[in-house]
């Protein structure tokens, strides 16, 4: 189990290889150019706000890494990496409407600055632009992977919605939700890098599984950080899931182990949606007391280990080492 010092140092040692840095800079240019609307200034304002707020570009980095890992020398991976970021951003913009979020990446959310209508339509715009980019990359197989992932994401988001305020949600359903809403796109991101990089079927399968396990670990950590993270770094408020009635792994585990009094507490918060002052602190105290913070962190780490094992089927080079570090980093982060 890593303590905080270790966590910080692991995060600090993530060094992005030069070739990927150069690729990322080109992807930024593609993102800017290919999201531009000649017709509607409002779209550009919204997108400037969204893309200008930064973001880790974690998913494009996966596509770029997968392609470069296999020695790819062309430039179709750049379009696919940008397409992946567009799909991701489209879902974020729509999620913020669904969750009625006020903040995203430490800045006001688009739906809050403009309105829900604008966010619905700009999300659609980004989604369409992502498919235009995929077409530019000239790979029907990549298109198949990314359109499958997009359908899976939407399905999982609805599954999450219908399970809002359901305090008896199972770990299995939780895993189905995060596999769909997060890991499917991670997995598609590495897969299309492998496809464009002309990997063997075994290599593409390895990359697909790597992305999938990585995404599951990443999301479990994200859900944990919503309870123990620090707002300025996370760029959102701690306790958002709690307030929105989103039952995630820490709470599912706490409910499984709850005594009578705790059961009543969780029911009041998640089923009755009746949150009082001090409830978040009480929830955190229960999670700590029952060792759930460490247990869930350890689960995230084991998914990350599973991801790293997939790298064995792939060429052993400095990009592979970077992907290994990325897997460590994705669960050792504090934001």
Look up residue 110 and give its two tokens. Answer: 């688009």
Which residues in 94-123 contact a copy of itself (CB under 8 A)? 94, 97-98, 116-118, 120-123
Binding mask 136-165 for a copy of itself (x = CB under 8 A): --x-x--xx--xx-xx-xxxxxxx-xx---
Report if residue 224 touches a copy of itself, rule: CB under 8 A: no
Contact region for a copy of itself (CB under 8 A) — 132-140, 190-198, 207-215, 269-277?
132-140
Binding mask 12-41 for a copy of itself (x = CB under 8 A): -------------------------x-xx-
Q: In degrees rounded to 5, what are phi and psi of residue 260? A: -60, -45
- How far does the chain reach from its first CA to its final CA, in angstroms? 18
How many other CB atoms are there within 10 angstroms of residue 100's CB atom?
A: 11
Residue with smaller CB distance to a copy of itself, 12 or 38: 38
CB of 43 to a copy of itself, least distance (A): 5
User: Which residue matches tokens 């950080």?
Assistant: 225
Residue with smaller CB distance to a copy of itself, 22 or 138: 138
Residue with smaller CB distance to a copy of itself, 86 or 301: 86
Q: How many residues belong to the site for a copy of itself (CB under 8 A)?
A: 45
CB of 60 to a copy of itself, least distance (A): 19
Q: Strands 103-104 and 107-108, how do they pair?
A: antiparallel
CB of 174 to a copy of itself, least distance (A): 14
What separation in angstroms does the CA of 203 have from each of 9, 17, 254, 308, 318?
Answer: 31, 21, 39, 14, 17
User: DSSP secondary structure string, 178-225?
Assistant: HIIIIIHHHHHHHHHHHHHTT--HHHHHHHHHHHHHHHHHHHHHHHHH
Cα distance between residue 36 and residue 209, in whole Å: 34
Site residues (vs a copy of itself, CB under 8 A) = 37, 39-40, 42-43, 90-91, 94, 97-98, 116-118, 120-125, 127-129, 131-132, 134-135, 138, 140, 143-144, 147-148, 150-151, 153-159, 161-162, 176, 180
């Amino acid at each position: 189990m890593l303590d905080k010092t270790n966590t910080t140092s692991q995060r600090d040692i993530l060094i992005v290889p030069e070739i990927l840095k150069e690729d990322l800079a080109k992807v930024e240019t593609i993102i800017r150019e290919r999201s531009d609307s000649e017709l509607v200034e409002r779209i550009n304002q919204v997108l400037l706000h969204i893309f200008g707020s930064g973001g880790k570009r974690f998913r494009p980095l996966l596509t770029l890494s997968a392609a470069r890992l296999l020695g790819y020398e062309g430039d179709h991976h750049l379009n696919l990496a940008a397409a992946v970021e567009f799909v991701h951003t489209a879902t974020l913009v729509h999620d913020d409407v669904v969750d009625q979020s006020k903040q995203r990446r430490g800045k006001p959310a688009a739906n809050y600055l403009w309105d829900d209508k604008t966010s619905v339509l700009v999300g659609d715009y980004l989604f369409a632009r992502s498919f235009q980019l995929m077409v530019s990359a000239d790979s029907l197989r990549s298109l198949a992977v990314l359109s499958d992932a997009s359908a899976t994401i939407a399905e999982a988001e609805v599954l999450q919605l219908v399970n809002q305020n359901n305090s008896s949600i199972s770990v299995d359903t939780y895993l189905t939700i995060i596999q769909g809403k997060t890991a499917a796109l991670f997995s598609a991101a590495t897969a299309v890098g492998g496809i464009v990089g002309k990997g063997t079927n075994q290599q593409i399968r390895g990359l697909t599984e790597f992305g999938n396990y990585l995404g599951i670990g990443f999301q479990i950590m994200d859900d944990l950080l919503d309870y123990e993270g620090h707002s300025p770094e996370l760029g959102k408020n701690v306790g958002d899931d709690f307030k929105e009635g989103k039952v995630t792994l820490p709470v599912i585990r706490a409910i499984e182990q709850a005594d009578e009094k705790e059961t009543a507490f969780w029911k009041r918060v998640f089923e009755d949606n009746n949150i009082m002052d001090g409830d978040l602190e009480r929830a955190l105290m229960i999670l700590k007391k029952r060792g759930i913070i460490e247990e869930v962190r350890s689960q995230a780490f084991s998914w990350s280990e599973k991801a790293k094992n997939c790298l064995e089927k792939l060429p052993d080079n400095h990009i592979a080492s970077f992907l290994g570090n990325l897997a460590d980093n994705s669960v050792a982060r504090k934001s």
